[in-house]
Amino acid sequence: MEEDAVARAAVPGTVRGMVAQLATLGLPTGATVIVHSSLSQLGWVAGGPQAVVTALLEAVGPAGTLVMPTHSRQLTEPADWGNPAVPQSWWDVIRSETPAFDPRTTPTYFMGAVVECFRRFPGVLRSDHPTVSFAACGPDAGRITAGHTLHDGLGEGSPLARLYEADAWVLLLGVGHDNNTSLHLAEYRAALPAEKPRLRQGSPVLVDGERRWVEYTELADDTSLFEPLGKDFAAITGLERVGPVGSGTARLMRQRALVDFGAMWLSRRFSS
């Protein structure tokens, strides 16, 4: 994979270079921004994920707040696993023995090297949801990560809704809208003609200091719609900025505009 990154890059990516590129893209100093990223898509970066996180923190400055999804889907209901599925005889063992979610130590799962690096940076706070947590660093980090509800963890009780209130930015670094978690909030807000399908979920959590397997519910999402939704958002509103970061492509937009458009787009899609 590193060989592919070298081949993709004409020159190495650097902290200084990425900060300049983010400024040219239009990310303001002092911004609150949620970032989704693929390190491999940025080409070869001197310093790897640490350099990317450092560049993002420098780009928003001390008055800005950097946010990333730090999801840990390895803590979900094992009966629903499919990649890979596990034998049914394992399910009770997994439910009873998997360590409880700990925002300080639980690793992310398939979220990428930049996210896993960021969650360990000094001053980073992480919301207390066992599967769809978010990490934040900056003056607004406490407000964004506090009070993350167990049920509907990507809905109104989530950091996504707090970002909406803050009129935050969304930055996609080398990834598309299929990785854009803010569109889950649009799913929750969309007006659908029938009751939205829900999933029964379970995770190991700490309750009064004691590990328990707790069941809860979440919306059954459909991320296959996110790419066409994002494409229409860019084409119809003209509010998506596109430019290079490292040797990859970055997309920048306001989260509130995206979520409002997404809720309307999904509502029309399912009512037609």
Hey, what's the torsion of the CAs at 175, 177, 179, 185, to 10 degrees? Answer: 150
Domain of 201 in residue numbering reads as 2-271
Q: What are the CA-CA distances from residue 267 to residues 19, 212, 222 (Å)?
A: 38, 37, 13
Rounded to the nearest angstrom, the gap between the alpha carbon of residue 118 and the centroid of all alpha carbons in its chain is: 12
Instruction: Report DSSP state, residue 13.
Output: B
Measure the CA–CA gap between 244 and 25, rounded to whole angstroms: 8
Sign for the CA dihedral angle at 239, 240, 243, 245 comes to positive
Q: Which residues pair with 252 in a beta bridge?
A: 171, 241
Show pLDDT as tens, one digit a residue, over the chain (272 residues).
677 766 666 788 999 999 999 999 999 999 999 999 999 999 999 999 999 999 999 999 999 999 999 999 999 999 999 888 999 999 999 999 999 999 999 999 999 999 999 999 999 999 999 999 999 999 999 999 999 999 999 999 999 999 999 999 999 999 999 999 999 999 999 987 677 788 899 999 999 999 999 999 998 888 999 999 999 999 999 999 999 999 999 999 999 999 999 999 999 987 76
Residue showing tokens 């809208």: 177
pLDDT in tens, 4-36: 766 666 788 999 999 999 999 999 999 999 999
Query: What tokens appear for 37 in the block?
Result: 């990223």
The tally of domains found in the chain comes to: 1
Measure the CA–CA gap between 42 and 54, rounded to whole angstroms: 15
Rounded to the nearest angstrom, the gap between the alpha carbon of residue 113 and the centroid of all alpha carbons in its chain is: 13
Residue 109's Cβ-count burial label (10 Å; 0-12, 13-18, 19+) is: middle
The pLDDT value recorded for residue 7 is: 66
Centre a 10 Å sphere on the Cβ of residue 219 and count the other Cβ atoms it contains: 18
pTM of the shown model? 0.94
The pLDDT value recorded for residue 269 is: 85
Centre a 10 Å sphere on the Cβ of residue 80 and count the other Cβ atoms it contains: 11
